[in-house]
Amino acid sequence: MSNAPVLGPPLFAFLLVPLMSCATEPATAPDPPPRAPEPVTAASTGSFRWGAASPESQGMCGSTKQLGCTTTLQSIWSRISNPRHNTKRFVVIRNDKVIYDRGGTLPYYSYSASKGLLGAPTLVYAISKCGVELTDRASGWLAHADGSRWRSQAPWANITLEHLATHTSGVRR
């Protein structure tokens, strides 16, 4: 079984929420009231649990256009779920709540494609909240596990977090 990272729900949220938040057409009267929202499964990740809410409760349009909406999440899903796009899943998260979740339930292995999307925000957070600096040696943060070679062997001991962030450690296999 592979230990590859699985592309999680937050990735789609920050990519798609900005597209849905601005209207460019003049406002019109709302369509008839939407039917009850389809159930949304809240994803659990360790001790944190995503809440669930309807798109409309978070100011977005799920299946019916309302005042200020230029499109609906359902119409986006209808377009991207076409087999030619090979879309596996579409998840929108807003205000820490899963507001739209369509597609399969099987994990989608993204392997190293997620490094740029998850690594940079994680590093920014660590710098702003945890006292991490780019000039810190990686061994100061990674040398505590059994069998770790970060402190004991060159060139591992000299690698900084900046080297890791920019993929310039110079270590060859």
Give the span between the Cα atoms of 70 and 24, in whole angstroms: 7
Do 29 and 74 lie in one domain? The reply is: yes
Q: Which residue has the tokens 């060859």?
A: 172
Specify the higher pLDDT residue, 26 or 61.
61
Do 80 and 160 lie in one domain? The reply is: no
Question: Does 173 fall in a domain?
Answer: no
Please tell me whether residue 151 adopts helix, strand or coil conformation. coil
Residue 88 has φ and ψ, to the nearest 5°, of -90, -35
Tokens found for residue 27: 């406002």
CB 135 within 8 A of CB 160: yes
Do 17 and 48 lie in one domain? The reply is: yes
Q: How confident is the model at residue 47 (pLDDT cuts 50, 70, 90)?
A: low
Give the span between the Cα atoms of 9 and 91, in whole angstroms: 6
Flag whether the pTM goes above 0.75.
no
Using a pLDDT cut of 70, give the percent of the chain over it: 70
Question: Does 172 fall in a domain?
Answer: no
Among 57, 81, 103, give the residue marking a domain's end: 103
Do 14 and 93 lie in one domain? The reply is: yes
Q: State the residue range of the domain holding 25.
A: 9-103
* Nearest CA among 63, 84, 91, 96 for reference residue 6: 91
Question: Does 35 fall in a domain?
Answer: yes
Do 139 and 86 lie in one domain? The reply is: no
Number of structural domains found in the chain: 2
The residue length of the chain stands at 173
Give the span between the Cα atoms of 21 and 19, in whole angstroms: 6
Question: Does 1 fall in a domain?
Answer: no
Q: What is the mean pLDDT of the chain?
A: 73
